[in-house]
């Protein structure tokens, strides 16, 4: 279970206000050391920063201490979609454990065990749905799938 942080007063109010104004967003965040990244590209750190600054000024990335986040505009530039696919799976009880591991190793963002008519739900980039479903077809024990692609976020 994650450790709970106790906040009070103004700090808690700020966090709540930020939460209320936030949009749910899935993103690609690379935890990187810029010195190592520069070395990997055989660049000086200053040269790498010029490239990162250009990407940032075009709205393709956001950077912070120790991370680079690719924005939805950056995903589009790479030919990827920021649309989300939700896939619900019914899995035979005898095969669940093995199926869970295989599905978690696929290029999906999040995987959830759920209660109800289905056993598992995962969230993935919509543009990769065909590739993912082809991989799922090879997993023993999958009894049923329901796939949905988001059109727009309403909230």
d(CA 7, CA 154): 30
For the chain, give the mean pLDDT. 88
Buried b (16+ CB within 10 A) or exposed e, 64-89: eeeebebbbebbeeeebbbbbbebbb
For the structural domain made of 84-149, what CATH number should be given? Answer: 3.30.70.920
Residue 114 tokens read as 């759920």
Residue 103 has a CB neighbour count (10 Å cut-off) of: 20
pLDDT the model gives residue 17: 82
Question: 33 with 66: CB under 8 angstroms?
Answer: yes
Q: What is the DSSP letter of 101?
A: H
* Residue intervals in the chain for CATH 1.10.10.10: 24-77
pLDDT the model gives residue 144: 95
24-77 architecture in CATH?
Orthogonal Bundle (1.10)
- Closest to 87 in 3D by CA, of 144, 141, 147, 26: 147
d(CA 150, CA 84): 5
pLDDT over threshold 60, residue 42: yes
Residue 123 tokens read as 């969230």
Mean predicted confidence (pLDDT) in 115-143? 93
Predicted TM-score (pTM) above 0.85 = no
* Residue intervals in the chain for CATH 3.30.70.920: 84-149
| pLDDT, tens digit, 9 for 90 and up, residues 79-116 | 776 688 999 999 999 999 999 999 999 999 889 999 99
| pLDDT, tens digit, 9 for 90 and up, residues 43-66 | 999 999 999 999 999 999 999 888
pLDDT over threshold 90, residue 21: no
Question: 135 with 127: CB under 8 angstroms?
Answer: no
């Amino acid at each position: 279970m994650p450790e709970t942080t106790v906040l009070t007063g103004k700090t808690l109010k700020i966090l709540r206000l930020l939460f209320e104004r936030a949009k749910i967003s899935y993103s690609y965040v690379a935890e990187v050391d810029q010195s190592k990244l520069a070395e990997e590209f055989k660049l000086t750190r200053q040269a790498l920063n010029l490239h990162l600054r250009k990407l940032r000024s075009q709205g393709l990335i956001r950077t912070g201490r120790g991370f680079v986040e690719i924005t939805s505009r950056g995903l589009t530039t790479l030919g990827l979609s920021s649309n989300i696919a939700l896939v619900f799976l019914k899995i035979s009880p005898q095969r669940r454990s093995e199926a869970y591991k295989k599905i978690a190793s696929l290029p999906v963002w999040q995987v959830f065990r759920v209660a109800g008519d289905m056993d598992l739900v995962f969230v993935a980039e919509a543009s990769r749905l065909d590739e993912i479903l082809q991989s799922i077809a090879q997993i023993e024990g999958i009894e049923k799938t329901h796939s949905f692609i988001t059109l727009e976020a309403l909230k």
